[in-house]
Amino acid sequence: MPELPEVETVRRQLEPRLVGRTLVAYAVRDARWTEPRSPNEVVAPLVGRRIEGFHRRGKYLIWEAEDELFLLIHLRMTGNLLYDAPEGTLYTRAHFGFDDGHDLRFVDPRRFGTGWLLAGQSELDAYLDARLGVEPFSDGFTAEHLRRLARGSRAPIKAFLLDQKRIAGIGNIYADEALFRSRIHPLRQAGRVTTAQWELLRDAVVDALSAGIDARGASIDDFRDLDGARGSFQDRFLIHRRADDGCLECGGPIRKILAAGRGTYVCEHCQPRPRGARIVPMTR
């Protein structure tokens, strides 16, 4: 599932290939991609405009065109951007042609991905600020900031990490990996995480995301990079999807439980269960 590292992987590949290029043609084959706006409303303004850059905020990929036009692309669960993919590539929702003869496809079997156009830096900032909290690779991502955000919260720490309005870019995989690295149980109440644990968790989030970027993302199911290649972070998971294996730290069992409504992997020896936490096991 595309989270921050997967989006960053694609962004880094797009930049050298498409910055300076001009969009000359497009076809949106699934109007749902731009709902509630029409595809023409969202994409037509970009035609004839030079691409100035590709940026990322959380899990959003931002295509910056001339005159401060921004196309926000969200891959959601199964979206992929493919460069020069073969004609007839299945599940192509949008297709972009550039002045150098190359092309880019947005491919998305489950049709959850979105495309959204914003005009002007202030409109972009307002849109993102309303939806996203602190960036994990920014100076503001400190243990003290996290501790303040969580003060009084009774929600499980797993839900806290997944809340994009608090921290931008973490999804199910990297939440599990960061919690295991910091030895915090996913069901611990966010407001009860200690100062020392926030320090560990802050570093664990950065470590897990950095490792994901180094591995060019995780390809459990659908994620592919710009060239259609798989990432390799799934081969380096410490806890996520390892319910059939023993814990790499202690050799104990890894359980799959429900936390924040998501399948969550935990070693309850390394990540002690908080008193009173109610476990909902998952079998699949």
Partner DNA sequence: GTGATAACCTGGGTGC
Partner DNA sequence: TGCACCCAGGTTATCA
Q: Which residues are catalytic?
A: 2-3, 59, 262
Cα separation, 15 vs 18, whole angstroms: 6
Pull the structure tokens for residue 169. 């870019």
Build a one-symbol-per-residue string for 68-97: x at contacts with DNA by CB under 7 A, - elsewhere: ------x-xxx------------x------
Q: Taking CB under 7 A as the rule, does residue 42 contact DNA?
A: no
Q: Which segment (17-25, 44-52, 164-172, 195-203) binds DNA by CB under 7 A?
A: 164-172
Build a one-symbol-per-residue string for 239-278: x at contacts with DNA by CB under 7 A, - elsewhere: -----------------x---xxxx---------------
Cα separation, 212 vs 229, whole angstroms: 15
Q: Is 216 annotated among the ligand-binding residues?
A: no
> Which of 1/124 has CB closer to DNA?
1
Q: For the CB of residue 74, give the shortest distance to DNA in the complex, in Å.
A: 6
> In the set 10, 13, 23, 58, which binds DNA (CB under 7 A)?
58
- Binding residues for DNA (CB under 7 A): 1-3, 32, 58-59, 74, 76-78, 91, 109-112, 131, 153-156, 159, 162, 164, 171-173, 190-191, 256, 260-263, 282, 284
